[in-house]
Amino acid sequence: MTSISKRKFDLDDYLKRRSATVDRALEGYLGKYPGASQTIFRAMRYGIFPGGKRIRPILMLASGELFGAAESRLLPFACAVEMIHAYSLIHDDLPGLDDDDLRRGEPAAHKVFGEGMALLAGDGLLAEAFHVISDTESTCAVSAELAVKIIRELSHSAGVMGLVGGQALDLEAEGQEVDLATVEMIHVRKTGALILASVRIGALVAGAAGEDLIRISHYGEYLGLAFQIADDILDAQGGIAVGERAESSHKERKKATYPSVVGIVTAKERLTELLRLLLSALDRYEMQAEPLRAMARYIVGRAVDIGGESLKKETHG
């Protein structure tokens, strides 16, 4: 059943449809400011439109739908997670952090709007995320109790135990010799936490609990780590995945990454192992989990050849 549905699942079409839906919903939140021509609004919009891959909101939709939530209930939360992601990228590119001039092949926000305005645009998106999901009108399908639980989960993933803490460790590790455990901790926090929160929040909106929540959390943890390893392999190879634009200008900096610590070959082996774990976390689910399986293959497959045969074995394993 799994291998048949795998062949039939059209990920390109799925990603296109889902990102268009997310974009429309984001437009609903970020297109309606009074005086939207003000620079700060333009800078916030610049950071989020035209979008990237919309991986996190799409993961949230896929996870929520696996456990039976309707798209309309998930969308406010999906938009919030993308706003947080967009803020993190605007700040990540600033001279005080990665000092990148390019983002998604275009000038980074601070190159267009200046550092001060880029800083504020990031702050604005972060605050807006929580504004959106605490709005009882747009999240009316979720109880106040669940809304608070989700806000707590999302703020934890964005905070010092998650994204911000990971970025701080990443900054401190620059130019230092670091071991693999440190690299993993950086990845799990700076990138993994928001991805984990995305799939968990989707499941929570759907009312998932117990073993379902444990399994989807395992999937989120593996995927968060896999995502950053894949991104770093692509960076290290100076390459970009097929069909994607160059992500950044790749200034020469010594970053703590999987490939820089263990080498490309071992990094790729680890990615392949993570794909096996990702697929086995979803073993229990049938066709409804196909979007999550396909997303895992896509994220890993951007950086590693996951060839048909070995994949089939993994899928059935």
Of 2, 77, 78, 92, the residue at the interface with ligand IPE (CB under 6 A) is 92
75 closest CA partner among 24, 145, 13, 147: 24
In this structure, which amino acid lies at residue 133?
A: I
For the beta carbon of residue 252, count every other beta carbon within 10 angstroms: 4
The number of CA neighbours under 13 Å toward the Cβ of 53 is 17
Helix or strand run (H / E) with residue 106: strand 106-107
190 sits near ligand IPE (criterion: CB under 6 A): yes
250 closest CA partner among 260, 238, 241, 262: 238
Q: Which two tokens stand for residue 231?
A: 């991104």
Q: Which is nearer to Mg ion, 82 or 92 (CB)?
A: 92
Q: Which is nearer to ligand IPE, 28 or 52 (CB)?
A: 52
On the 0-12 / 13-18 / 19+ scale of CB atoms within 10 A, 44 is buried
Of 2, 21, 139, 191, the residue at the interface with ligand IPE (CB under 6 A) is 191
CA angle 138, 139, 142 (to 5 degrees): 160
Q: Which listed range, 49-57, 69-77, 204-212, 289-297, lies at the site for ligand IPE (CB under 6 A)?
A: 49-57
3-class state of residue 103 by DSSP: strand
Q: Which two tokens stand for residue 161?
A: 């135990």
290 sits near Mg ion (criterion: CB under 5 A): no
Residues 60-99 that bind Mg ion (CB under 5 A): 92, 98
Q: Which two tokens stand for residue 313?
A: 């074995």
Token pair 């889902």 is at which residue? 18
Q: Which listed range, 20-28, 51-59, 133-141, 277-285, lies at the site for ligand IPE (CB under 6 A)?
A: 51-59
91 closest CA partner among 103, 80, 79: 103
247 sits near ligand IPE (criterion: CB under 6 A): yes
Site string for Mg ion, 172-201 (x = CB under 5 A): ------------------------------
Q: Which of the choices ligand IPE, Mg ion, none does residue 156 contact, using the CB cut-off of 5 to 8 A by kind?
A: none
19 sits near ligand IPE (criterion: CB under 6 A): no
CB 2 → ligand IPE: shortest distance, Å?
Answer: 26
52 sits near ligand IPE (criterion: CB under 6 A): yes
Select the residue whose beta carbon is closest to ligand IPE and give its number: 52
Q: Which is nearer to Mg ion, 138 or 228 (CB)?
A: 228
Could you tell me if 1 and 286 are in contact, meaning their C-beta atoms sit under 8 angstroms apart? yes
Q: Which is nearer to ligand IPE, 73 or 156 (CB)?
A: 156
Q: Which of the choices Mg ion, ligand IPE, none does residue 53 contact, using the CB cut-off of 5 to 8 A by kind?
A: ligand IPE
Q: Which is nearer to ligand IPE, 88 or 315 (CB)?
A: 88
Token pair 């899928």 is at which residue? 315
Q: Check the CA dihedral 285-286-287-292 and report its sign.
A: positive
163 sits near ligand IPE (criterion: CB under 6 A): yes
Residues 97-136 that bind ligand IPE (CB under 6 A): 98, 100, 104
240 closest CA partner among 56, 105, 49: 105
Q: Which is nearer to Mg ion, 91 or 215 (CB)?
A: 91
| Strand positions, DSSP E, the chain | 102-103, 106-107
3-class state of residue 275 by DSSP: helix
Q: Which is nearer to ligand IPE, 21 or 167 (CB)?
A: 167
Question: Applying CB under 6 A, which residues contact ligand IPE?
Answer: 52-53, 55, 88-89, 92, 98, 100, 104, 163, 167, 190-191, 228, 231, 235, 247-248
Question: Applying CB under 5 A, which residues contact Mg ion?
Answer: 92, 98
